[in-house]
Amino acid sequence: MSQKFGERVRELREHSRITLRQLGKALECSAVYLSDVELGHRAPPSPERIVKIAKIIGADENELLRLAAQQRKHIELDTEGLHDLQLDAALSLGRALKGLTDDQAEQILKVLRGKPKDDDE
């Protein structure tokens, strides 16, 4: 089984030589809460807080968001400010994800990351 969110955060935090107290102060939360998250006694924090954690400990935010989503079994999506067409696209993608092939998922990622299509298409 893959590494859990809290285990990875702890590993990266310790590697960055940042204490729980320092991280808690930067995030405006308690070291006890963060310890509970790292030990798996609490669910991963909100996506916004995960992005902040990643920046503070020098981690890849997508890796941490992915681990949190795997642990939660769902993904939170901030829809504030989305236009109807953007919201429809997000909802359609969410419904279609399980049926995508790896090639289709890779093509979608290329579009979302702004990479050009392969020349053979």
Provide the residue ranges of all domains of the chain, joining segments of one domain with +: 5-72, 81-121
Say if residue 48's pLDDT is above 70: yes
Say if residue 72's pLDDT is above 90: no
What confidence category does residue 38 fall into, taking pLDDT thresholds of 50, 70 and 90?
very high
Terminal Cα distance for the chain, rounded: 36
What confidence category does residue 121 fall into, taking pLDDT thresholds of 50, 70 and 90?
very low
The arrangement of secondary structure in 5-72, i.e. its CATH architecture, is: Orthogonal Bundle (1.10)
Say if residue 37's pLDDT is above 80: yes
How large is the average pLDDT for residues 9-36? 97
How large is the average pLDDT for residues 85-99? 90
Place of tokens 């993608």: 93
Say what angle helices 31-38 and 5-15 make with each other, to 10 degrees: 120
Which of 60, 67, 7 lies closest to 35 in space, CA to CA? 7
Say if residue 23's pLDDT is above 90: yes
% pLDDT > 90, the chain: 71
Which of 35, 79, 82 lies closest to 45 in space, CA to CA? 35
Q: Taking the mean position of all CA atoms in its chain, how far away is CA 96?
A: 20
State the Cα–Cα distance between residues 42 and 71, nearest whole angstrom. Answer: 11
